[in-house]
Amino acid sequence: MALYEFLHSNSIKIDLALEARDLIRGATGREIPGVIEEKQTFRHGTVTIIKIMDPKAEAIMGKPQGTYITIESPDLRFKSPEVQESVGDVLAQHLKNLLKISEQATVLIIGLGNWQATPDALGPTVVKYSLITRHLHLHMPQMVENYRSVCAFAPGVLGITGIESAEIIQGIVEKVRPSVIIAIDALAATNISRLGTTIQIGNTGIAPGSGVNNKRIGINFQTMGVPVIAIGVPTVVNAAVIAQMAVENHNKITGNRTPVNSIQIGQLIQELFKPFEGSLIVTPREIDDLILNAGRAINRGITLALHPRVAREDLEAVLC
């Protein structure tokens, strides 16, 4: 209960619907009305499907109504082509279920984040490996008749471009007129074991930077005029969360039954992090490998989902 209170009192947003569900359920001791959950397993992990069905559940969860699919694979942190293929195949299956577009539709892939900051480079990494076909449909349609029209762009970040990512994407949407946007971004977790090992897919869009208290214009149906499917992987944890969990674990080990005052702990942590304006975000040392592993799995899933009419062996030949 203390962790949920701590996050709430310090305005730390929970990016993963799975974590929000677990923390709220743990804090209240009961199921959340209007939230439906389904669990599945596959060779290298588990899948949890959470559906937020009504406005009341939306208010409790702090997330828009919609479907959130979480793929967890602890072995994804290792450089294993077998695991990447397995996770990518599962991602493709669920992404197909969310895509409601025709074979002639154009898909716009948006890689949110910053190339120059590795923990934030997931989106640009996926764009780098994406199979792009829109220009071929325009100039050599006979060569790609079984492929969907796909284009991709990494808009950078406000601090580099001086332009909101949502504003750039709105301009592209106006010219390209895609049927759907697939947006990829790095997320923040509250559980360090999920860094680089968890992929969340949602059909409600995304708010760039929200997990690190860096709010930007949302990228969703309301702002873009087309459906937005968001794919994210947690790559960072707020250091304040780690400090709070350390306090809780210490109390469990020592048997200290005195309730932890979340507000006081939050004030102490903010004082400690004063050189960083009260907030500090941490990431694993091996983040380069985690981004690459997750990026390749996501690219595989997107490619397989978008081109169902293409022979599997042909797609395998172009996958990195």
How does pLDDT run across 186-195, given as a tens digit for each residue?
A: 999 999 999 9
Judged against a pLDDT cut of 60, whether residue 172 lies above it is answered with yes
| Total domain count, the chain | 1
Percent of the chain whose predicted confidence (pLDDT) is above 90? 65
Six-digit token pair at 83?
A: 């695991």
CA atoms 225, 227, 233, 238: torsion sign: positive
Give the CATH number, domain containing residue 114. Answer: 3.40.50.1450
More confident: 19 or 255? 19
Contact 182, 302 (CB under 8 A): yes
Q: Where does residue 293 rank: exposed (0-12), middle (13-18), buried (19+ CB within 10 A)?
A: buried
| Distant-in-sequence contacts of 75-82, Cβ < 8 A, 24+ apart | 75/44, 75/45, 75/197, 76/44, 76/45, 76/196, 76/197, 76/293, 76/294, 76/297, 77/195, 77/196, 77/197, 77/286, 77/289, 77/290, 77/293, 78/293, 79/289, 79/292, 79/293, 80/293, 82/44
Mean pLDDT of the chain: 89
Judged against a pLDDT cut of 60, whether residue 156 lies above it is answered with yes
The amino acid occupying position 58 is: E
pLDDT given at position 261: 62
Six-digit token pair at 19?
A: 């974590």
228-238 and 180-189: which strand pairing? Answer: parallel
Q: What is the domain range of residue 153?
A: 2-318
45-52 and 66-72: which strand pairing? Answer: antiparallel
- d(CA 155, CA 150) in angstroms, rounded, equals 16
pLDDT (tens digit per residue) in 221-261? 999 999 999 999 999 998 888 888 777 777 777 776 665 56
Distances (CA, A) of 133 to 103, 130, 152: 13, 10, 10
Q: Where does residue 172 rank: exposed (0-12), middle (13-18), buried (19+ CB within 10 A)?
A: middle
